[in-house]
Amino acid sequence: MIQIGDACPAFTLKDQHGNERTITSLLGKTKIVLFFYPKDDTTGCTKEACSFRDAHEDFLSLGCTVIGISSDSVSSHKAFAEKYQLNYILLADTEKKVRKLFGVPANLFGLIPGRVTYIIDLDGKVKGVFNSQTDPLGHIKHALDLVRSL
């Protein structure tokens, strides 16, 4: 599992518009909040996604890009983003390669993908890791506090 002090691994995934996004194009240019969540349009994930939406201006003002990743498809992400007016990047990790690359654990006997948030600084190093399946809203406050301190 990726831990504090590790370099952010390189990856490319499609966003909710079908455009390829490469994390290396952002590293060194912006701080990054990268959050893995289980599934679009479920209760906890919707609360988390909408909380990141509501705090998005705060993250932007701190020079930070917010990115959400799940194994849902591009079309699912597009519908999810439109339904809840999500104003940040959603990436489709349909083969769960990036989830595995980061070592995001599954919960509940491996049936539910984990919920983990990573904070990445301008040097491309992981400065924070928040892991909690049951607290989808706590990640936003922790992430914002840590980004403020960078």
Active-site residue set: 45
| CA atoms of 45 and 115, how far apart (whole Å) | 9
The three-class DSSP label of residue 90 is strand
**What is the radius of gyration, based on Cα positions, of the chain?**
14
Is residue 122 a contact partner of residue 31, using CB atoms and an 8 Å limit? yes
Would you state the structure tokens that stand for residue 74, as one six-digit string?
A: 């591009």
If one counts every other C-beta atom within 10 angstroms of the C-beta of residue 27, the result is: 18
The three-class DSSP label of residue 124 is coil
